[in-house]
Amino acid sequence: MGKYLSKKITIYILTFFIAVTLDWAIPRFMPGNPISILVSRFSALPNARKVLTSYFTQSFGLDKPILVQYLNFWKAFFHGDLGVSVYLYPKPVVDIIKESLPYDIALLLPSIILSWIFGNWIGALAAKNRILDKTLVPILYVFTAMPYFWFAIIIAWILGVVIPIFPISGAYSYSMTPELSWTFFFDFLHHWFLPFLTLFVVMLGGWAIGMRNMIIYEIEANYSRYLESLGASDKMILRYAFRNAVLPQVTGLALQLGTIVAGALTTEMVFSYPGIGYLLLQGILHQDYFLIQGCFLFIVLSVLAANFLVDLVYVLIDPRVRYSYTEGA
Amino acid sequence: MKEWLKKHDTIYFMLTNKRFVGGMIFIVAMVLIAILGPWLARLELNWYLEESGTKNLDPTANIGIPYSPPSSRHWLGTNSFGQDVFMQLVFGLRSSLLIGIIGGGLATLIGLIVGFVSGYSGGMMDELLMMLTNIMLVIPTMAVLIIIAAYLPYRGVLIESIIIGLTGWPWTARAVRSETLSLKSRDFVHLARISAVKPLRIIFGEIAPNMLSYVFMVFILQFGGSILAAVGLDFIGLGPTRGTSLGLMLQQAVLWNAIQLGMWWWIIPPGAIITAIVAALYTVNTGLDEAFNPKLREM
């Protein structure tokens, strides 16, 4: 168990270093001169250019040796200094990301957990029921083949324009300010529903298909056949198969996190939902490179953390991992 | 013919599998549309070529009245700039399929090499390559694509597919590694080794033929994955800087309020085509799985 965790932690620490290094290296080794782009973004006044160039060269540390630049970048990183946004000047990037964080959590956590539970349930049902299998599985395949943002566009058009029952832009009405009251809460929920539905539906397809295939595989396994020969009920066999089939789904959750986050980014862009995705879009549209880099770091670090969490859960639910590392060692 | 099929029974099972054949027909049709794209656009916009006297069609040209719904002049209407949606669609399809083939092919190739070397050689090499794979696996691909693409001043379809291919391989490497590990310890491989068959002959003569079907399936999945990744990247605004693509069409549609204006002819077709292609690829993959895996064959 300790060995399993230490191996995992080594990987995560290495990944963390590589991600931060990438974030440092890409603007520096790319063709073209990002600094001049950054400066041109700031220079409304002609004589501001000179001051700004030296300011940026200093804060970017471009006049220092490359190793010192790298160390300075780490120093700034641990001080929580990710630069200043151009688009929302002079707000620090860290503060901007902090503000959008609650919206991402409110959107991603429920949609991932609910679609995972519901998808596994549907998948298990489809594996056992022929009629359900023939009708539902093709639909699920279409769900999982859709780009997230396209489904977002379609659902916004149907439920926001053709039958206007849901708002399709923002996280709350423009006339409101965030506060702790029931009216705000319901307004928030009203805006939250369509982005949530998008993520939920597209993810659902993937989980359900994965579960269906795993269950079919498990039902063919010897232990299921043995149970069957003992005269166990279908329900009981399915319950045992489910317990085995759910393990790869937990691993799948870790592997899919990156794709899910990417899907959430584009979904937020469609609904102008003020999470990281919307922020990133603003960063790209306004060529705000500090903001883009900050978002990149933040996304990578949260996916890392979530992966680590899934690994911990895996140790708890799969006894084989525990035994193999305690008895084998 | 019958004799030949008897010898190649997997091909027989492939060709009689409804999922494989159905999905394949759709994909081949899409490839044909992409290849014949410029010709189809000429057919549609014949009236425009005659009226304006120009010889070449440019998918980004503003040739019609903006906001017009589908008609005989514009089969899928026009967008807010008066660009022809059908023409953009067939030209966009070309770049999407191209990215799928190049990006998916590259990702499959890298994944194959890394996974195979890692699984076959074992030891220190295996540890190192798997560590690299695991690291690449946790870093969200899209985030890396975004940050690379954001700093590229000029982006073409080729560059886009290469960066998608370079980031998409890790899961393939892992899958190929475990496949190699299981093949490596089969009896016929042991037998070949005992009979002093050279390592390269074991790899290409004994192991590779058994992995061919698997590699083909991996490529199909990578093909779909690359198309989806490219569409997402285009939608974020980091797609090709020139020309058009399906993701770019959808990005413009959202930026120019096509949803609020109810321009369904602009927002439905690009995504529907992508969904249909990816779903067809998944169907082909399931069909292949049934054809190659005797356990899953429907009797």
A31 at the B interface (CB within 8 A)? yes
Give the model's pLDDT for residue B299: 45
Among A157, A162, A199, A282, most B C-beta atoms within 10 A, so best to mutate, is A157
Structure tokens at A311: 């690994």
pLDDT at B97 exceeding the cut of 50: yes
Does residue B9 fall inside a structural domain? no
- Name residue B24's amino acid: M
Contact of A35 with A60, CB cutoff 8 Å: yes
- Residue A246 CA from chain centroid, whole number: 21
Asked, for residue B252, whether it belongs to a domain, the answer is yes
**Residue B188 covered by a domain:** yes
Give the closest residue to B285 by CA, choosing from B27, B35, B19.
Answer: B19
Residue B71 lies in a domain: no
Specify the CATH number for the domain of residue B133.
1.10.3720.10
ipTM score of the complex?
A: 0.88
State the first-to-last Cα distance of chain B, in angstroms, to the nearest integer: 23
**Could you tell me if A305 lies within 8 Å of chain B, comparing CB atoms?**
no
Contact (CB, 8 A) for B274 and B92: no
Does B140 contact A at CB distance below 8 Å? yes
* Number of residues written out for chain B: 299
Tokens of B85: 């949606």
Those residues with Cβ within 8 angstroms of residue A302's Cβ, 6 or more apart along the chain or in another chain: A261
Does the pLDDT at position B22 exceed 60?
yes
* Whether A34 and B151 lie within 8 Å, measured CB to CB: yes
Nearest by CB to A255, from B137, B152, B260: name it.
B137
Q: What does the block give as tokens for B249?
A: 């069409």
Given a cut of 70, is residue B176 above it in pLDDT?
A: yes
Give chain B's domain count: 1
Contact A272, A106 (CB under 8 A): no
DSSP B239: S
User: Could you tell me if residue B66 is inside a domain?
Assistant: no
Q: Do B140 and A257 touch (CB under 8 A)?
A: yes
Q: Looking at the predicted structure, is the pLDDT value of residue A45 above 60?
A: no
Residue B67 lies in a domain: no
**What is the structure's pLDDT at A142?**
92
pLDDT tens per residue, range B152-171:
777 888 888 998 999 889 98
Q: Model confidence over A176-200: pLDDT tens digits? A: 777 778 888 888 899 999 999 999 9
A329 — pLDDT class (breaks 50, 70, 90) = very low
Smallest Cα–Cα separation from B265: which of B57, B66, B26?
Answer: B66
Q: Chain A residue closest to B260 (CA)?
A: A161
Count of beta carbons in the 10 Å neighbourhood of residue B192: 18
pLDDT at A145: 92
Q: Where are the alpha helices (DSSP H) in B36-169?
A: 37-44, 46-52, 85-121, 123-138, 141-151, 157-167
* Chain B residue closest in CA terms to A147: B228
Q: What is the pLDDT of residue B279?
A: 94
> B217 CB near a chain A CB, below 8 Å?
no
pLDDT interval class at B188 (50, 70, 90): confident
The H or E element spanning position B238 is none
> Do A161 and B260 lie within an 8 Å CB cutoff?
yes
Question: For B108-116, what is the mean pLDDT?
Answer: 92
Report the alpha-carbon distance of residue B136 to residue B130 in Å, rounded. Answer: 10
* pTM, 2 dp: 0.87
The answer regarding whether domain A100-289 maps to CATH 1.10.3720 reads yes
Q: How far apart are CA B174 and CA B137, in angstroms?
A: 10
Rounded to an integer, what is the distance from CA A7 to the centroid of its chain? 24
Contact (CB, 8 A) for B103 and B168: yes
Q: Does the beta-carbon distance from B141 to A154 stay under 8 Å? A: no
Q: Which amino acid is at A69?
A: Q
Q: pLDDT tens, A76-127?
A: 888 877 777 777 767 888 888 888 888 999 999 999 999 999 999 999 888 8
Residues above pLDDT 90, as percent of chain B? 24
Q: Are B139 and A257 inside 8 Å of each other by CB?
A: no
Q: What is the pLDDT of residue A207?
A: 93
The first and second tokens of residue B160, run together, are 């886009």
How many whole angstroms separate alpha carbon A102 and alpha carbon A275? 8
Domain that holds residue B249: 18-55+77-296
pLDDT tens for each residue of A254-286: 878 888 888 898 999 899 899 888 888 888 877
**Assign residue A287 a region: left if phi > 0, alpha if psi is -120 to 50, beta otherwise?**
left
Rounded to the nearest angstrom, the gap between the alpha carbon of residue A52 and the centroid of all alpha carbons in its chain is 35
> How far apart, in whole angstroms, are the C-alpha atoms of residue B84 and residue B40?
13
Q: Which two tokens stand for residue B74?
A: 């514009």
Residues 159-198 of A with CB under 8 A from B: 160-162, 168
- Residues A76 and A69 sit within 8 Å (Cβ to Cβ): no
| Per-residue model confidence (pLDDT) at position A328 | 44
- Mutation target among A266, A270, A307, A308 for the B interface, most CBs of B within 10 A: A266
List the one residue out of B94, B95, B90 whose CA is nearest residue B42: B90
Spell out the domain ranges in chain A: 100-289
Render pLDDT for A54-77 as a digit per residue (tens, 0 to 9).
666 666 666 677 788 788 888 888
Q: How far apart are the first and last CA of chain A?
A: 9
Cα(A162)–Cα(A156) distance, integer angstroms: 9
C-beta atoms of A18 and B267 within 8 A: no
**B294 touching A (Cβ < 8 Å):** no
Closest chain B C-alpha to A180 CA, distance in angstroms: 31
On whether any CB of chain B is under 8 Å from the CB of A32, the answer is yes
Q: Cβ neighbours of residue B269 under 8 Å, at least 6 residues apart?
A: B76, B85, B89
